[in-house]
Amino acid sequence: MFYLTEVEDYVRVEPKLFGLPTAQSVREQLEETYADYYEKEIGKVVAVVDVLSIGEGVIIPGDGAAYYKSSFKILAWKPEVQELVYGKIDEITNFGAFINLGSMRGMIHISQTMDDYVTFSDSGALSGKTSARTLKAGDLCVARIVALSHKGDEPKIGLTMRQPGLGKIEWIKEDKNKEEADAKKAAKAEKSDKKPAKGKEKKEKKK
């Protein structure tokens, strides 16, 4: 989920930014500090949205930087179990696929890529034995987060595409078209069953 969070902190502005107006130097320092920043409670910072206030600068002896007590807003993505995510496959391996979610990467085990027996082909794609569907680098997909581990600098995100409405975009469209076709066929058959036979109609009229 994406969250807009207000933060209050002392921003350490490095000497290289001293020649700029204070508001600009604080903003640039925040953008540099929070680039690729991740914390379990906040999530992955996507952008510094706004600087709300900047206090008086403080110089600490022995440190050439200036510190400004500031409040600012950040936009962060915090992955959550059961959340639906959209992304592009950027790597295929013999044990699964890695999907670029924008601010982070997730991993789909080979057994969770599709509802089929899947193998890793010589062409570097994952192929379904029965469905003949293939998954390769560059494919756009919808997946669901089923596991999160916060060990390391960034969380490890486990995904599945074996549920209805998930998978490669083309598969989702194919499944939807098939469902609509099956529904029309069933409705037509039901309508046909409700029509009385011609012989039965004549017999009822004679009575």
Which of 38-52, 158-172, 192-206 has the least mean pLDDT?
Answer: 192-206
CATH superfamily of 2-77: RNA polymerase Rpb7-like, N-terminal domain (3.30.1490.120)
Would you give the DSSP letter of residue 111? G
pLDDT confidence of residue 189? 83
Mean pLDDT along residues 100-126: 94
Would you give the DSSP letter of residue 189? H
Q: Evaluate if residue 80 carries a pLDDT over 60.
A: yes
Indicate the SS3 state at residue 173. Answer: helix
Q: Evaluate if residue 99 carries a pLDDT over 90.
A: yes
Residue 102 burial (CB count, 10 A): 12
Q: pLDDT tier at 122 (50, 70, 90 boundaries)? A: confident
Give the whole-number percent of the chain exceeding pLDDT 70: 94
Task: Please tell me the pTM assigned to this model.
Answer: 0.78
Q: Which residues contact 79 (CB under 8 A, 6 or more apart)?
A: 1, 43, 85, 104, 145, 148, 155, 157
Mean pLDDT along residues 31-42: 91
Which of 29-33, 100-104, 132-136, 182-186 has the least mean pLDDT?
Answer: 182-186
Q: Would you list the domain boundaries of the chain?
A: 2-77, 84-170
Give the chain's largest Cα–Cα span.
112
Instruction: Say which residue the tokens 């991993």 belong to.
Output: 107
pLDDT tens for residues 167-194? 999 999 999 998 889 888 888 888 877 7
Please answer whether residues 115 and 124 qualify as being in contact, where contact means their C-beta atoms are separated by less than 8 angstroms: no
In the CATH hierarchy, which fold is given to the domain comprising 84-170? OB fold (Dihydrolipoamide Acetyltransferase, E2P) (2.40.50)
Give the whole-number percent of the chain exceeding pLDDT 90: 72
